[in-house]
Amino acid sequence: MENMTIAFIAANIIVFVAYFVRSVTGFGSSLICIPLLALYFDLKFIVPVDSAFVVVTSLILVPKVIKKVNQVDFALLLGGSLVGSLVGVYILKSFSNDALKILLGIVIIILALNLLRENSRTIRNLSRNWGIGAGTIGGILGGMFGTSGPPYVAYLAYRGLPKEVFRATLIVFFAVEYSWRLGLYVHQGLFTMEGVQFALALCPALVIGTIAGNRAHIKVNDRIFKITITILLLFSGFLCFF
């Protein structure tokens, strides 16, 4: 009982920090939530819970941005992600928690190191031929670990879209893609009533973290911010091996 109490308190702190960071920066909630919550709970339990959080927070923003979506890039990413999610969810259901945690640790470390890359050499106007590939890779990672964002973000960033179009396309895409994936989790018996109850119990931390992040006026050097997030992700990634 004491261990469960500690785990629940830790989960609230993790969710608060994750959605505070997401509100301040616009990304990163799953990259923080999943590896840290995996220290206390099975991935098969927490990945669907985190997906439910993303669905709710994304759907709230959809009406405000849907008119600015780049429909072609949205469709390409979605086509790939629908197929990729099927593969990722199958892997999540089929493999043991220990094996999944090791894979998650490797993925998180790679993504963390990628954050340190400078943007000065970013390729612009990337061909749309890469859209389905990026969607498939993101779908697989999302189905397995709930961390599908980086391939989508990279593709849209390389497409050289205007900032408001980039943001709108990503928000609406996440709303649709995470809803689809959450449906797969329900169908495969991975998102149960216990998961629903756990998600509801963590909602106050999510709401408070989101509100606090929206109200925060934090001006941090981009390089320092990237290094801080990278250290956090590297730490959580290495913990997945133990």
Q: What is the mean pLDDT of each run of 10 residues along the chain (242 residues)?
A: 81 92 71 87 91 86 87 92 92 83 79 62 61 88 82 78 82 89 92 94 92 69 64 70 68
Place of tokens 């470390």: 109
In angstroms, rounded to a whole number, what is the distance separating the alpha carbons of residues 144 and 30? 12
Contact 241, 39 (CB under 8 A): no
pLDDT given for residue 63 in this prediction: 87
pLDDT given for residue 118 in this prediction: 52
pLDDT given for residue 195 in this prediction: 94
pLDDT given for residue 105 in this prediction: 79
Q: What is the pTM of this model?
A: 0.76
pLDDT given for residue 233 in this prediction: 67
In angstroms, rounded to a whole number, what is the distance separating the alpha carbons of residues 108 and 223? 19
pLDDT given for residue 120 in this prediction: 43
CA atoms within 13 A on the CB side of 202: 29
pLDDT given for residue 171 in this prediction: 82
Q: Degrees (nearest 5) of the Cα angle 28, 180, 239?
A: 35
pLDDT given for residue 121 in this prediction: 47
Contact 71, 128 (CB under 8 A): no
Contact 123, 158 (CB under 8 A): yes
In angstroms, rounded to a whole number, what is the distance separating the alpha carbons of residues 57 and 19? 10
> Quick one: CA dihedral 128, 143, 172, 225, positive or negative?
negative
